[in-house]
């Protein structure tokens, strides 16, 4: 008996040891990442203007990822150009990893070679060729960023993700989709009516949103590639805050058809409508737990808006926020550990993290401005949110591990309702 | 009349509850829920389903003559409770509605710019529904009253102070023959 058990244990240990070795061989950063340290990467800008553009985007992606700090990009440009990489020089400049990006343009296409070297060993750990239209260098840059991060950390990061949001830059609040760092805006409909509250399908192909197209607030689902859309919910009264379940089969939403704003779940084909709440209070802003079993939402049943959680099949509410008089906009982290929300603290709206297990909260905002509407990146590390300064709203992303902030929209209009794509 | 009385009682209870929440501040998250439960028990709150919506284009602004009856109803911050000072307006609307049975109304609910846009969208709807519910208790048929929330998207007055905000936390009316 015990001998068999020992054998099983031994086998299990060996298996895990092997798995750990296999994992770390290609994943240079794994151990350092756990220690919270950043890897120092040199990525020299060189070559044509187009190549420099790609390098700039990749550098920015690596920096924002939180895993890298970029070193002295101008240094040793000549060694890079000649193709003779002087690792001693790069080491002296503080680089631990050297990345090179070189491109050859032919007609309307571009071929780009990306390589990674461990400076201390002069060892090449990654090399890949990318091809695409030279009119869209960002597409190639994002792919390179994702692959470099994957090679260094084991995770592809957020370089290829997008953010859906609302802007009033045309004078009407419309839904746009942009790259996660605020570039390449695309308006998703040509309508001239108010659109609000976008959310993503788990495959990242569809956006669900509220539009006043019929004159009334209805919920639509739209495919981002084809542009095809359909109306999911157009009951009498309010139809709003559509949120896809993690399996993509259901949508949580708020309807007032029964005489009060209440939380419902329906299938994405419009069938099987189920009511989850029956209150005389306001319910809003549902967001699913990553396992699809629970829904976080806002209710003012206690006299002020607070964050509650309910089973996706209905039942009792569980109150999650225990302090503050105005807690709204819950969003569950993809790793399940946190619910981020906005809370009014000392007269300012601030982004907070709620530990789902302990219900303890941590402030992310510093309280200098009004921050709200948080949404998680798929890495459970970054959050996009709206910051309002002097009654003008822009979007920011924050790395919750070190509080590093990047402003991603900056104009004289309002950007709001940010929703980070799930992949 | 009895119905109207119970509504008044409820409103008073509601205002009382809101006042309590306002002054006591942070400590009482569980008490909040308790008070809410009490409020729930005090009010017999039933669904009053919304009927099928007419085409939006059928609703028009009230004529200048009717503007004097269909006045905007204003609300306290983060509240959909009908204030005492607006009951008179709602009674006039109710009696006009009863003498014009072919007219239906669209109650639009609005909020001031403060707070979550999403929550305000739901709060605006609840304000419109609260007006509708009050008119139901005054004897107006629920199927003649529709609701539409704009949240904080259509302020009546621009400005970033209470002078503007108090006119933006409102329910307004459109009419269809």
Task: Indicate whether B111 and B130 sit together in one domain.
Answer: yes
Residue A81 φ then ψ, to 5°: -65, -40
Q: How many CA atoms lie within 13 A of A97 on its CB side?
A: 24
Q: Are A306 and B29 within 8 A, CB to CB?
A: yes
Nearest to A303 among B35, B45, B121 (CB): B35
Q: What are the residue boundaries of the structural domains of chain A, listed by start? A: 26-153, 162-420
Task: Indicate whether B35 and B59 sit together in one domain.
Answer: no
Q: Are A261 and B125 within 8 A, CB to CB?
A: yes
At B161, is the secondary structure helix, strand, or coil?
A: coil
Give the residue from A194, A303, A372 with the most B CB atoms within 10 Å of its CB, the best one to mutate. Answer: A303
Nearest to B78 among A278, A304, A372 (CB): A304
Task: Indicate whether B41 and B122 sit together in one domain.
Answer: no
Q: Are A280 and B160 within 8 A, CB to CB?
A: no
| Contact assessment for residue B52 and residue A236, using Cβ atoms and an 8 Å cutoff | yes
Distance from CA of B34 to the nearest CA of A (A): 8
Task: Indicate whether B65 and B116 sit together in one domain.
Answer: yes
ipTM value for the complex: 0.89
Task: Indicate whether B19 and B88 sit together in one domain.
Answer: no
Digitized pLDDT (tens) for each residue of chain A, 423 residues in all: 344 334 433 333 333 333 333 333 344 544 455 556 899 999 988 889 999 999 999 999 999 999 999 997 565 555 555 567 888 888 988 999 999 999 999 999 999 999 999 999 989 999 999 999 999 999 999 999 999 999 998 888 999 999 999 999 999 999 999 999 999 999 999 999 999 999 999 999 999 999 999 999 999 999 999 999 999 999 999 999 999 999 999 999 999 999 999 999 999 999 999 999 999 999 999 999 999 999 999 999 989 999 999 999 999 999 999 999 999 999 999 999 999 999 999 999 999 999 999 999 999 999 999 999 999 999 999 999 999 999 999 999 999 998 999 999 999 999 999 999 999
Q: In the sheet that A174-179 helps form, which strands lie side by side, from edge to edge?
A: A186-187, A174-179, A162-167, A415-420
Of A87, A116, A112, give the one whose Cα is nearest residue A102: A112
Q: Using a CB–CB cutoff of 8 Å, tell me whether B162 touches chain A.
A: no
For B2-7, the CB contacts below 8 A with 24+ separation are B3/B137, B4/B137, B4/B138, B6/B44, B7/B134, B7/B137
Nearest to A237 among B21, B50, B117 (CB): B50
Task: Indicate whether B94 and B59 sit together in one domain.
Answer: yes
Strand-pair partners of A133: A109
Q: Using a CB–CB cutoff of 8 Å, tell me whether A296 touches chain B.
A: no
Distance from CA of A336 to the nearest CA of B (A): 23
Residue A296's pLDDT is 98
Residue A85's pLDDT is 82
A342 contacts in chain B (CB < 8 Å): 116
Report the alpha-carbon distance of residue B137 to residue B31 in Å, rounded: 30
A415 contacts in chain B (CB < 8 Å): none
Number of helices followed by number of strands (H, E) in chain A: 6, 29
Task: Indicate whether B108 and B31 sit together in one domain.
Answer: no
Q: Using a CB–CB cutoff of 8 Å, tell me whether A258 touches chain B.
A: yes
Q: Using a CB–CB cutoff of 8 Å, tell me whether A388 touches chain B.
A: no
Report the alpha-carbon distance of residue A359 to residue B29 in Å, rounded: 13
Assign a CATH topology to domain A162-420.
Neuraminidase (2.120.10)
A325 contacts in chain B (CB < 8 Å): 21, 25-26
Task: Indicate whether B110 and B131 sit together in one domain.
Answer: yes
Nearest to B160 among A241, A391, A416 (CB): A391
Residue A78's pLDDT is 55
Give the pair of three-digit tokens for residue A96. 């631990």
Q: Are B50 and A257 within 8 A, CB to CB?
A: yes
Domain that holds residue B35: 1-45
Give the residue from A231, A261, A283 with the most B CB atoms within 10 Å of its CB, the best one to mutate. Answer: A261
Task: Indicate whether B125 and B156 sit together in one domain.
Answer: yes
Q: Are B35 and A254 within 8 A, CB to CB?
A: no
The string of pLDDT tens digits covering residues B89-130 is 999 999 999 999 999 999 999 999 999 999 999 999 999 999
Domains A26-153 and A162-420 alike in fold: no
Q: Using a CB–CB cutoff of 8 Å, tell me whether B130 touches chain A.
A: no
Q: Are B121 and A238 within 8 A, CB to CB?
A: yes
Report the alpha-carbon distance of residue A129 to residue A327 in Å, rounded: 48
Task: Indicate whether B31 and B94 sit together in one domain.
Answer: no
Strand-pair partners of A299: A283, A306
Between residues B20 and A294, the one the model is more confident about: A294
Residue B29's pLDDT is 54
Task: Indicate whether B92 and B171 sit together in one domain.
Answer: yes
Q: Using a CB–CB cutoff of 8 Å, tell me whether A196 touches chain B.
A: yes
Domain count, chain B: 2
A348: how many CB neighbours lie within 10 A of its CB? Answer: 16
Give the residue from B118, B127, B132 with the most A CB atoms within 10 Å of its CB, the best one to mutate. Answer: B118
* B6, pLDDT greater than 60: no
Task: Indicate whether B90 and B148 sit together in one domain.
Answer: yes
Report the alpha-carbon distance of residue B82 to residue B107 in Å, rounded: 14
| Contact assessment for residue B170 and residue B73, using Cβ atoms and an 8 Å cutoff | yes
Residue A34's pLDDT is 54
B77: CATH: 3.30.1330.60
Residues 136-155 of B with CB under 8 A from A: 146-151, 153
Q: Could you tell me which residues come within 8 angstroms of residue A388 by beta carbon, excluding any fewer than 6 positions away?
A: A349, A369, A370, A371, A372
Residue B158 φ then ψ, to 5°: -90, 155
Report, at the CATH architecture level, how domain A26-153 is classified: 3-Layer(aba) Sandwich (3.40)
Report the alpha-carbon distance of residue A120 to residue A91 in Å, rounded: 7
Q: Using a CB–CB cutoff of 8 Å, tell me whether A242 touches chain B.
A: no
């Amino acid at each position: 008996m015990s001998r068999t058990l020992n054998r099983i244990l031994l086998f299990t240990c060996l298996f895990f040891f092997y798995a750990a070795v296999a994992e770390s061989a290609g994943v240079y950063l794994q151990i350092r990442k756990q220690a919270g340290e950043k890897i120092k990467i040199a990525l020299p800008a060189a070559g044509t203007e187009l190549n420099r553009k790609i390098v700039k985007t990749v550098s920015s992606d690596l920096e924002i990822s939180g895993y890298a700090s970029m070193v002295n990009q101008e240094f040793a440009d000549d060694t890079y150009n000649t193709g003779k990489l002087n690792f001693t020089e790069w080491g002296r400049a503080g680089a631990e990893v050297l990345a090179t990006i070189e491109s050859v343009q032919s007609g309307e296409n571009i071929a780009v070679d990306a390589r990674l070297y461990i400076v201390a060993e002069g060892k090449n750990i990654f090399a890949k060729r990318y091809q695409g239209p030279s009119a869209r260098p960002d597409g190639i840059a994002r792919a390179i960023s994702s692959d470099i991060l994957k090679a260094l950390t084991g995770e592809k990061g957020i370089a290829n993700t997008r953010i859906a949001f609302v802007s009033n830059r045309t004078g009407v609040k419309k839904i746009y989709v942009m790259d996660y760092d605020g570039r390449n805006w695309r308006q998703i409909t040509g309508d001239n009516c108010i659109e609000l509250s976008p959310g993503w399908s788990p495959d990242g192909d569809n956006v669900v949103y509220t539009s006043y197209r019929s004159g009334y607030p209805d919920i639509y689902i739209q495919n981002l590639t084809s542009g095809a859309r359909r109306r999911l919910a157009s009951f009498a009264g309010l139809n709003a805050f559509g949120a896809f379940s993690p399996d993509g089969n259901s949508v949580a939403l708020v309807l007032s058809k029964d005489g009060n704003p209440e939380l419902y779940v329906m299938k994405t084909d419009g069938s099987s409508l189920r009511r989850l709440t029956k209150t005389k209070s306001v319910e809003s802003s549902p967001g699913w737990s990553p396992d699809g079993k629970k829904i976080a939402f806002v209710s003012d049943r206690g006299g002020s808006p607070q964050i509650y959680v309910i089973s996706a099949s209905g039942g009792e509410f569980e109150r999650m926020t225990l302090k503050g008089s105005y807690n709204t906009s819950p969003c569950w982290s993809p790793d399940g550990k946190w619910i981020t929300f906005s809370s009014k603290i000392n007269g300012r709206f601030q982004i907070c993290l709620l530990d789902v297990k302990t219900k303890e909260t941590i402030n992310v905002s510093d309280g200098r401005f009004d921050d709200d509407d948080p949404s998680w990146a798929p890495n459970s590390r970054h959050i996009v949110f709206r910051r309002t300064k002097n009654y003008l709203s822009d979007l920011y992303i924050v790395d919750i591990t070190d509080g590093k902030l990047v402003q991603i929209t900056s104009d004289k209009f309002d950007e709001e309702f940010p929703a980070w794509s799930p992949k | 009349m009895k119905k109207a009385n119970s509504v008044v009682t409820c409103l008073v209870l509601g205002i009382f509850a809101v006042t309590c929440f306002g002054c006591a501040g942070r400590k009482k998250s569980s008490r909040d829920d308790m008070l809410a439960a009490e409020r729930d028990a005090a009010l017999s709150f039933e669904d009053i389903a919304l009927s099928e919506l007419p085409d939006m284009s059928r609703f028009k602004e009230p004529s200048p003559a009717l503007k004097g009856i269909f006045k905007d109803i204003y609300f306290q911050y983060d509240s959909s409770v009908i204030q005492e000072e607006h009951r008179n307006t709602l009674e006039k609307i109710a009696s006009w509605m009863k003498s014009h049975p072919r007219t239906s109304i669209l109650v639009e609910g609005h909020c001031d710019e403060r707070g979550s846009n999403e929550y305000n969208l739901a709060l605006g709807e609840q304000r419109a529904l609260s007006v509708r519910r009050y008119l139901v208790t005054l004897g107006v048929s629920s199927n003649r009253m529709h609701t539409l929330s704009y949240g904080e998207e259509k302020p009546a007055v621009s400005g970033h102070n209470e002078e503007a905000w108090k006119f933006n936390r409102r329910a307004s009316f459109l009419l269809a023959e």
